[in-house]
Amino acid sequence: MQLTRIAQAVLLTLFASHASAATMESTRAQIAAQAKQLEPELLETRRDIHAHPELGNTEKRTSELVAAQLKALGLEVKTGVARTGVVAILKGGLPGPTVALRADMDALPVKEVADLPFASKAKGTYLGKEVDVMHACGHDAHTAILLSTAKILTGMRDTLPGTVVFYFQPAEEGPSDFIPDGKNTWGAKMMVEEGVMKSPKPDAVFGLHVWAGIPAGQIAYRPGATLASSDDLRIKILGKQTHAGRPWDGIDPITVGAQTIVGLQTVVSRRTDISSYPSVVSIGTINGGTRYNIIPESVDMTGTIRSYDYGIRQKLHADVRQTIEKIAESGGAKADVTIIEKYDPTINNPALTDKMLPTLKWAARDDVVNAPLVGGAEDFSFFAKEVPGLFVFLGVTPKDQDMSKAAPNHNPGFFVDESALVVGVRTLASLATDYLYANVGSGK
């Protein structure tokens, strides 16, 4: 036993002192060669998943495919995580830190319009209604990329200094239907709540997202706040029903609702400090009334609140609530305001981002750019809230296309230039190995 401990200590010392640039370059060369070799299989897997999309919390076929491939690699695999998620653990042959790599698996209630031989013809149930289903946000690419990454890293198991955990996450876009047990939440949050980041606890977590409007193979990154938080705003204005010809006999919730929409515009423009980060308060739906000559009893509105800072986010909530309630009160009405926190802001750890920038440049062959703030939201934020995280964007729009005219993510015409996917594999695999080698002997 004593000799084993001494041997391990010697190995740790050797790796700490000799995990040089040459060692990393050798590993990177192996990653590049393996990624290229696996590319046909990568594309076949992506196309299979694309042709069989599944909505949030219904990813049964996808999770079975993922679990089968991971088990074939001899990894420790756990299924049924956060309902339909899969987690696999790769323990390297040498001691070292732990990193986590994440891919999401769910699709969207969107009808595909692209004329592809593997285009989706799938149907699903979304909030009780039958809908067309499509991978309109590229999660099929994420899943295929991470599966290929797992195969490459497993082939390096004997010399890998540490542990890699693979998170195949369900319901990034949210649940597709009401869940009786009350767990109507996003996949990453549920995975964290179920303890996936406790055993083993990663020292860092990495993820990527394919993105339209960025040239295929280019990587965009941003230190600090990257994607917005996303909170549901639900408003019920309670008035008093009456004949529309005698409005003074009632309280008009439609008028109060209109004043509320106008008043909400001042929350950002006059009450929020936007010198550091922008914020958004938008109303998306208004419903009320049954007939042209009846002032209704109530009006329902829904909207979204977006921000990039936790402090600003909480102030927005308070200001939105106060504005709505006081406007309703001024009109003699009442307002019920519900704010549901869905996604946290995705914040890339600045030190980790700076440390891994050379890795991104290698993976993308120096085609790396700074990303602007993105108004969308991502539940990778729940992983990055637990440990230092880095989330980057991988361009998938053909290079000869006008980037400004590319169909965006969540659009029926969303298209993935598959030549970019091998760059994604190089990115995730090298982020994991570079981090492990760089932190051997650091106590992580």
Q: Which residues are catalytic?
A: 343, 418
Residue 41 CB burial class (10 angstroms; 0-12, 13-18, ≥19): middle
For residue 431, which of 386, 384, 392 has the smallest C-alpha distance? 392
Strands 368-370, 346-348: pairing is unpaired
Residue 269 Cα distances to 23, 132, 191, angstroms = 53, 39, 37
**266: β partners:** none
Residue 410 marked ligand-binding: yes
Q: Angle at Cα 229 formed by Cα 169 and Cα 310, nearest 5°?
A: 120
For residue 196, which of 166, 161, 175, 174 has the smallest C-alpha distance? 166
Residue 27 Cα distances to 24, 31, 137, 170, 426, angstroms = 5, 6, 31, 31, 11
Residue 52 marked ligand-binding: no
Residue 209 marked ligand-binding: yes
Kindly state the tokens that stand for 290.
């049954």
Helix 253-271, helix 310-330: angle, nearest 10: 150
Cα–Cα distance for residue pair 395/374, rounded to 1 Å? 14
Residue 130 marked ligand-binding: no
All residues at 6 or more sequence positions from 437 whose CB lies less than 8 Å from its CB, including other chains: 15, 19, 23, 24, 27, 161
Cα–Cα distance for residue pair 161/20, rounded to 1 Å? 14
Residue 18 marked ligand-binding: no
**Annotated binding residues:** 137, 139, 173, 209, 410
**Annotated binding residues for Mn(2+):** 137, 139, 173, 209, 410
